Structure formats: C-alpha cells, structure tokens
A and B are shown apart, each in its own frame.
Chain A
C-alpha cells in the first residue's frame, strides 16, 4: 500500500477534466461521476490505481529529477550552487552555464533566467550546498540588467537573491 493521492487527482483530471488541486472536485469525481462511467473505463482506472500502488509521493519539485537534466549540465553540477534553465519539457538549454563558488562566472549566459520565465515559460532549478534541489517557479526581481540575477556566493541567502521567488524544497535528488 498505497497508491498516493496525487494519482487520484491525476486520473480525475484526465478522465473528468477536474482541477487536480480541487480536492472536493476530485472526491466528487470518484464518488459521483466514476460509477456512471463505462465498465471498460472503470476497469482501466482501477488497474492504473493498482499499478501505481507504492509510487513515491512527489513534492512540488520531485518532478525535477536528475534524469531530466541534460548530461552536459549534469556533469557540471558539482559546484556548491548550480543554476540550470529548464523549459517545460524538461530540456535544458545547452548554452546555460553554471556558477560554482569562487569561480565568479556569470550564472547564466545568453538564456537568462528572466528569459526562461518570460520567453521559455520554463523554470529554474538549483542545487544548494547541502545537495537540496530547489525549483524557482516565479521570478520578479532584477538586480542585473543582463541576467536579472546576481552571482551566488556561499554567503548569499538563496531567498534574498531570488527575492519574490518561490522556492520549493525538494525531497529527492
């Protein structure tokens, strides 16, 4: 046991066009709508629920698995702070650069993080010194005209650098 609750929300979204974040709507789907579905659909749903038994419960950022990271960047993710630009498809832009402590390299090259949000509609992931992954889903600040970001140093507080950004702590690598 068990099949995590997000699987139910996912199924309600796919089979009932339900907002997966609306728990009462998901409840209603399973309690009211599902019994009226055809037997074949019900069987399909039930099998999926069973097949996803034991699936890990995702946090906001467990969708950002290392396997999603392009090898070219993964190999660089050894610095204490790493920034990667990722679009919605999980494909990293190859011209993204990393910033490791002491190198003072610019965080991101031609594809700025700001651009990632505004143009690529992507997201930014970051691995902090303790190995924790962060996903930044919103960025409004601008401290550098070119990149919209300042270089990270060990002393820089992540939350301060990404002022107005939303950070989700990841529970997995």
Chain B
C-alpha cells in the first residue's frame, strides 16, 4: 500500500533515446500555461490531428471550474500541468508544457459507490510535433499519457483513496484509446462492465454506461504507480 503522505508525482520522464530522462514538474495550471497551450499545442492538434477528442476543448473554460468551485464543492476539481525545460542558448531554459489534466478529487468510485475516488475529467498531451519544434534534435519526453494519468493516481493516494481512480475513455478516441487505458502493458485499468450501474452523479438518461468507463482498483493503481517509481526521485 502506498502511504498517502509519501505519494509523490513523477519528477522525470523517460526520453525518446531510451538512455536519458527529461526532468519534469507537475504543478497547478497557470494562465501562462494556458496561453502557451493556445499558442503552441492547440493549433498543432487542430492541424495534425483534428479528430483528436481534445481538439475542441477550451482549457480556459475547463480550468475555470477550479476557481469557481475550489472552496465550495466537496468534489474538489483540480487542474495540473506537466512542465519541462528545454535548454536555450540564453541563460534561462524555456518552459514547455507536456500535458494538462483536470480531475475531480472526490468522486464516487465506479466499482463501489460507497467509496471515494479520483475521477479524471480531462487529459491532454502535447502533440509530438509541438515538442519536436522545441526540442529539435534532443530526445523528447515519453510516456506523457501515463504520466498524466499518474497525476490522478498519485492524487488518489495523497487524498487517502488508495489509488482508486476512474475516467471515461472519450468516444472520439475509439478502441485505440480504450486499449491504451485497459492494456496491462500500458495503464492496466479495467473497463466497467456495461451492465454495471453508474454512480448517481453520472446517471443520465442521455448517456448510459457504454463500456468506456475505466477504473483502477487499489491493487492495479499501486502496480501502475510502482511502474513509474524510478521517475519519482
């Protein structure tokens, strides 16, 4: 079991050369991060992968929920960004955003509605093409999707939910996205059976359980967390 007080975000990401690692930071999203995203990441998504589920997301609106609800709702919405530094010819390295995530810190656990969990609401990774534009010939940070997911899992441990985490695999991601979350070699989540009832807040006549809700059990979350442990120091 991961001790909630000791659960830490990753501090580096494996690099594309499979030798080095890229130092990264997980922090609360800032307006500067959003401006960066709108300037460099979003336009690239719209051009290169316009069918990506996040191509139409407006992170200014998504992150507004933090400010609007932070001190009032028990659901605790939170937004984080993953940031890395790219050395420049000047003294100061340049910050590059590797991904953004919005999660709900307190939510009914998909598998057992009497328990609490973290629910990942939005998750976007920076397009490789954008990273390449900043990194040039230098190795790129990898496993960004898993590292973003790890932010949710780590928050779950920190909040005392023992790693319990849920999310909905966006329809736009098709089977590929569902496989990303459920493949044991990648994330190792479990898809909620279509026959399983959804938590009360999610029950909607417009959108029944279609088998794309995924969750981490405590054991699976711990296993996932441990896979990235080498990158936490």
Contacts and interface: CB of A to CB of B under 8 A. Distances in A.
Interface of A: 1-5, 8, 23, 26-27, 30-31, 34-35, 39, 42-43, 46-47, 49-57
Contacts of B123: 1
B53 A2 contact: yes
B207 A55 contact: yes
B64 A47 contact: no
A50 B75 contact: yes
A43 B58 contact: no
B67 A1 contact: no
B64 to A, nearest CB: 4
Which of A4, A27, A51, A52 has the most chain B CB within a 10 Å cutoff? A51
Nearest to B208: A54
Given A1-B167, A1-B168, A2-B121, A43 B56 contact: no
B199 to A, nearest CB: 9
The 10 tightest CB contacts between A and B, nearest first, are: A30-B64, A54-B168, A31-B64, A34-B68, A2-B122, A35-B68, A51-B204, A30-B61, A27-B60, A1-B121
Interface in B55-71: 56-58, 60-61, 64-65, 67-69
A35 B122 CA distance: 21
Given A51-B201, A53-B168, A5 B73 contact: no
B104 interface: yes
A31 B65 CA distance: 8
Nearest to B201: A50
Contact of B61 (A8, A47, A51, A53): A8
A57 B55 CA distance: 12
A8 to B, nearest CB: 5
